[in-house]
Chains A and B, each alone.
Chain A
């Protein structure tokens, strides 16, 4: 392995370790406020990982919506309820969870052998239909950004109905949060 690829590999590993550490912090910390701020930094590291993979659009959306909006929503909920209600009890875990989840984990890791290598240009996901989109989207839509072309042109109906989902979520929040509900 030459030096350049070793460096990029270890950079990716470093980002993954930071990701796991912030996720573990958000889970293990007893205070809810610190857990939520750690979750925001987890989200930000996730967007860094995605920018590293070349998924710039996803990284932007995660940085704005995941790291920004979700953290703000969590904080608003904590301020609206009791910020001091952080007596988090850790109940003894149920037997079913202790048996089923490690089994599921072992099954998933056992299946890792059949996955294609990450970053392989000839993996099935990368050779099936996506080259067609990459090669023809500019001719069809005149948009250099292929993600935008697929999102706004090929799948525009899907994106339009997605706004209906968000509208429904907004209405549900408004109905739940109005005062004097009765």
Chain B
């Protein structure tokens, strides 16, 4: 038990990731307002990306831009660039998803006059 707790507190990034991920997911499931649900979705997306970028960090290393193009490169001096590349794609696709969701929200508002899930369901009947 104490081992598990100290393992968690040695990895504060992971603790922050778990809290934001679960809280955002909870908001997505429980809140009735559609824009609030999208806020939760954005938190889930960014927390997963945050975890991936945390994995790429190395102590004492610098950004993955080569300091000298003639000397041989030592990989230990630069952080891992591969998670950065994958998350760049994920951020842009995530915001595109968010844009489509928000466009759906305003189309729903124009049709039903509300963003509240229960009122929309009432007006659907």
Contacts and interface: CB of A to CB of B under 8 A. Distances in A.
Given A53-B56, A78-B35, A165-B96, A145 B11 contact: no
A32 B20 contact: no
A176 B100 CA distance: 9
Nearest to A86: B33
Given A46-B50, A97-B26, A130-B81, A123 B55 contact: yes
Contacts of A94: 29-30
A53 B54 contact: yes
Contact of A97 (B29, B58, B75, B81): B29
Nearest to B75: A131
Given A54-B64, A61-B92, A101-B26, A20 B19 contact: yes
B113 to A, nearest CB: 9
Contacts of A49: 50
A39 B19 CA distance: 16
Chain A binding surface SS class: helix
Interface of B: 3-4, 7-8, 10-16, 18-20, 22-27, 29-33, 35-36, 38-40, 42-43, 46, 49-50, 53-66, 69, 72-73, 75-76, 78-85, 87-89, 91-93, 95-100, 102-107, 109, 114-116
Interface in A128-163: 129-131, 133-135, 138, 144-147, 150-151, 155, 158-159, 162
A81 B105 contact: yes
Given A58-B87, A125-B83, 15 more contacts: A42-B46, A54-B79, A58-B84, A73-B102, A82-B115, A85-B116, A97-B30, A101-B26, A104-B22, A112-B8, A130-B80, A150-B81, A151-B85, A166-B93, A166-B96
A80 B115 CA distance: 12
B64 A134 contact: yes
A62 B87 CA distance: 10
Contacts of B43: 23, 26-27, 39, 42
B94 to A, nearest CB: 8
B42 A39 contact: yes
A91 B32 contact: yes
A121 B33 CA distance: 44
A87 B61 CA distance: 49
Given A118-B54, A169-B96, A177-B107, A89 B116 contact: yes
